[in-house]
Amino acid sequence: MAAPRRRSLWSCCGHGWSWATRCCRVPGLCSSRTWGPLGAWPLSQQKRAAETHFGFETVPEEEKGGKVYQVFENVAKKYDVMNDMMSLGIHRVWKDLLIWKMHPLPGTQLLDVAGGTGDIAFRFLNYVQAQHQRKQKRQLRAQQNLSWEEIAKKYQKEEDPLGGSLVMVCDINREMLKVGKQKAMDQGYRAGLSWVLGDAEELPFDDDKFDVYTIAFGIRNVTHIDQALQEAHRVLKPGGQFLCLEFSQVDNPFVSRFYDLYSFQVIPVLGEVIAGDWKSYQYLVESIRKFPNQEEFKEMIEDAGFQKVTYESLTKGIVAIHSGFKF
């Protein structure tokens, strides 16, 4: 069932993200004439203008999307190098673990929301390709009368090295997708990969379409997390899996002290030195603190209709992988 559309005071023009050429959430960029000033709405509705957080700042809900957009527009070009520097490469291990947990089989249709510069998508493609090759080799070895040369020939003839797997990277930010597409070209990823501009809160896909939905370090930035979770549930096929990799709550007071020190004293400095952007990295560490802990987020996933919801904390709870199923 499709989730109902929300209506905000500064309502989106309704273009939808699948074809909009401008970001409706960035103030001043939306070309639609359907945007209206607050005064155009009845007073009773104006009073209900909800507030949310943007890091430690309190902002009207309608402003958060634009601010988040600007953060990722600013950091897009330095995003990958920043992640390696800030995490000393640990983010790569966390992302690998997400794919191992998914254990996708050839033929899997994956939707990677807030996919940014494609790290999850590329790992998925590597994994399914390796799985498919292993499967082929096993099948061919079973035909014992074939020589190794014949096996090699058959193996080379195979047209789809992914065994029908597909990954759709969906992100709200044009600049992040641009960097991702360039990376894909440079690294030779072409087959089985598509890029779509879209909002996690209003996904431009039909119901029951994907086997797996992933969101890595993305959901923390979404204004209405409950809405994004409902959308995840809607687009998954029955039996489909939801997987989320996100910062979480550190479970050890000693680690927590150093973690805070490193987060607040080192990360923004690195942001300034490497990306020339202190504020975006200040937002990163603040947004981590505002995100629900492992148990609270588990409940939110259950509230969206997912079943068998579990989580695994990694690196003392610095991040967690949550999993759930649509039945």
Ligand X SMILES: C[S@@+](CC[C@H](N)C(=O)[O-])C[C@H]1O[C@@H](n2cnc3c(N)ncnc32)[C@H](O)[C@@H]1O
Residue 295 C-beta: closest distance to ligand X, Å = 23
Indicate which of ligand LIM22CUA, ligand X, none lies near residue 82 (CB less than 5 to 8 Å, by partner kind). Answer: ligand LIM22CUA
**CA distance linking residue 224 with residue 206, whole number of Å:** 20
Q: Cα 145 to the chain's mean position, in Å? A: 47
**CA distance linking residue 125 with residue 165, whole number of Å:** 8
Is 200 assigned to a binding site? yes
- The residue from 91, 132, 224, 322 that contacts ligand LIM22CUA (CB under 6 A) is 91
- The residue from 267, 301, 304, 320 that contacts ligand LIM22CUA (CB under 6 A) is 267
Residue 289: Cβ within 10 Å count:
14
- Choose the stretch contacting ligand X; rule: CB under 6 A; options: 32-40, 56-64, 107-115, 153-161: 107-115
Residue 291 C-beta: closest distance to ligand LIM22CUA, Å = 11
**Is 283 among the residues that bind ligand X (CB under 6 A)?**
no
Q: Is-contact 222 297, C-beta < 8 A?
A: no
Which residue of the chain is nearest ligand X when measured via CB?
116
Binding mask 50-89 for ligand X (x = CB under 6 A): ------------------x---x-----------------
Integer-rounded Cα Rg, in Å, for the chain is: 21
DSSP three-state, residue 289:
helix
Q: Cα 2 to the chain's mean position, in Å? A: 20
**CA distance linking residue 305 with residue 234, whole number of Å:** 10
List C-alpha distances in Å: 91 to 68, 84, 95, 277: 21, 7, 6, 20
279 to 298, contacts with ligand LIM22CUA by CB under 6 A?
Answer: 280, 283-285, 288
Residues lying near ligand X in the complex (CB under 6 A): 68, 72, 113-116, 119-120, 171-173, 176, 199-201, 216-218, 221-222
